[in-house]
């Protein structure tokens, strides 16, 4: 038997020969299969270093007979998503009658543009959604999916890294709250787009804008003074809060909101002094967990009259 590895270690193992050996150990000469055996084989198939030979063996139905039908299908689907799957197998399974097999191929990062184009017109919405989520799709496929697809496909597109400014603008004007929220959440969205979304009528979208590091200071200020408590909760940890905004938050009635604010890593010295003397132990405890505090501030909290505040300050002080 090979050296015992944890599931996480198997997923990260870079020796393809070892992965192949482990695979055979867990499918050959077994009369019964335990859950652990399935988990190990699945982890092997999740590893990008698993050799092509193993992938082809999995697609040979006889090899997986030791597993029950549901587990066999899960192992096949994971294999079809593997980046080292041979091109001929990708083309073959892209034409499978099984829509889940086609969806797995649509998710595969090695699937070629021609095949992805075909699958973008698939009769199964699950397959088209998988195409939309594949970061390998080109501009032509993206524009095709934007022009003729459903909300669920647009939602997957909003999470794709290959969107052009034109694509982003279209999705930012979607009728779907969830699509607009997804766009507002992306870290590459420009301030101009976020500015438009900062006037959205959905709290979900506004909270996403408030959380985005690219949101301009002007829009942060607009959202802060909008009296929307949900947005204020998100803004409490934003790096672009002004000193005036911070002072307002220290006077916020809600302990919950002040606690969120106390975790902000960008607090000024004056604000830290105010929060360190806050009447709520929850707020002081949250502040004590803030790793941005200086040793001096943490030692001050070590003398707090509340046990939990002192404990959190001690843990933070000795974390590094």
Q: What is the CATH number for 260?
A: 1.25.10
Structural contact between residues 49 and 19, judged by C-beta atoms closer than 8 angstroms: yes
Mean pLDDT of 42-47: 95
Question: Which residue did the predictor score with more confidence, 66 or 226?
Answer: 226
Q: From residue 112, how far is each of 49, 86, 222, 307, 317 by CA, in Å?
A: 20, 11, 45, 60, 52
Q: Is residue 16 part of a domain?
A: no
Q: What is the pLDDT of residue 306?
A: 96
Q: What is the pLDDT of residue 1?
A: 54
Check whether 247 has a pLDDT greater than 70. Answer: yes
Could you read off the pLDDT of 80-112 as tens digits, one per residue?
A: 999 999 999 999 999 999 999 999 999 999 999
Under the banding of pLDDT at 50, 70 and 90, the label for residue 65 is confident
- In the chain, % of residues over pLDDT 70: 96
Structural contact between residues 209 and 197, judged by C-beta atoms closer than 8 angstroms: yes
* Other CB atoms within 10 A of residue 309 CB: 23
Across 64-68, 222-226, 285-289, which has the greatest mean pLDDT? 285-289
Q: What is the pLDDT of residue 27?
A: 76
Q: Is residue 235 part of a domain?
A: no
Mean pLDDT of 10-34: 82
Q: What is the pLDDT of residue 227?
A: 78
Mean pLDDT of 173-180: 95
Question: Which residue did the predictor score with more confidence, 56 or 228?
Answer: 56
Check whether 18 has a pLDDT greater than 60. Answer: yes
The boundaries of the domain holding residue 251 are 240-320
Under the banding of pLDDT at 50, 70 and 90, the label for residue 61 is low
Burial of 227 (0-12, 13-18, 19+ CB in 10 A): exposed
Q: What is the pLDDT of residue 2?
A: 57
Q: Is residue 300 part of a domain?
A: yes
Q: What is the pLDDT of residue 67?
A: 79
Could you read off the pLDDT of 137-146 as tens digits, one per residue?
A: 999 999 999 9
Could you read off the pLDDT of 190-214 as tens digits, one per residue?
A: 999 999 999 999 999 999 999 999 9
Q: Give the global pTM.
A: 0.77
Q: Is residue 121 part of a domain?
A: no
Write down the mean pLDDT value for the chain.
Answer: 92
Check whether 71 has a pLDDT greater than 90. Answer: no
Mean pLDDT of 37-45: 90
Q: Is residue 95 part of a domain?
A: no
Q: Is residue 79 part of a domain?
A: no
Q: Is residue 48 part of a domain?
A: no
Q: What is the pLDDT of residue 237?
A: 85
Q: Is residue 309 part of a domain?
A: yes
Q: What is the pLDDT of residue 85?
A: 97
Number of domains in the chain: 1
Could you read off the pLDDT of 283-301 as tens digits, one per residue?
A: 999 999 999 999 999 999 9
């Amino acid at each position: 038997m090979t050296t015992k590895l944890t599931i996480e270690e198997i997923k990260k193992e870079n020796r393809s020969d070892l992965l192949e050996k482990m695979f055979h150990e867990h499918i050959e000469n077994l009369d019964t299969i335990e859950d652990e055996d399935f988990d190990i084989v699945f982890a092997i198939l999740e590893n990008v270093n698993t050799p092509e030979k193993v992938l082809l063996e999995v697609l040979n139905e006889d090899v997986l007979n030791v597993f029950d039908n549901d587990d066999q299908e899960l192992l096949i689907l994971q294999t079809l998503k593997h980046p080292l799957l041979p091109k001929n197998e990708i083309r073959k399974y892209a034409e499978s009658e099984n829509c889940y097999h086609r969806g797995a191929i649509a998710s595969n990062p090695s699937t070629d543009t021609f095949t992805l184009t075909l699958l973008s017109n698939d009769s199964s919405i699950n397959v088209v959604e998988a195409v939309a989520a594949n970061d390998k799709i080109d501009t032509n496929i993206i524009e095709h999916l934007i022009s003729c697809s459903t909300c669920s496909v647009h939602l997957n597109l909003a999470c794709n890294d290959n969107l052009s400014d034109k694509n982003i603008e279209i999705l930012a004007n979607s009728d779907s709250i969830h699509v607009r929220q997804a766009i507002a959440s992306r870290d590459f969205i420009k301030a101009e787009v976020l500015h438009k979304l900062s006037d959205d009528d959905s709290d979900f979208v506004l909270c996403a804008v408030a959380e985005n590091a690219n949101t301009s200071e002007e829009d942060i200020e607009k959202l802060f003074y909008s009296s929307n408590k949900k947005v204020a909760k998100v803004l409490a940890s934003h790096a672009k809060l002004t000193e005036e905004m911070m002072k307002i938050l220290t006077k916020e009635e809600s302990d919950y909101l002040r606690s969120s604010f106390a975790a902000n890593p960008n607090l000024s010295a004056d604000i830290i002094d105010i929060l360190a003397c806050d009447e709520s132990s929850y707020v002081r405890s949250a502040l004590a967990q803030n790793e941005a505090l200086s040793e001096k501030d943490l030692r001050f909290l070590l003398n707090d009259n509340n046990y939990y505040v002192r404990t959190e300050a001690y843990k933070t002080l000795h974390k590094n």
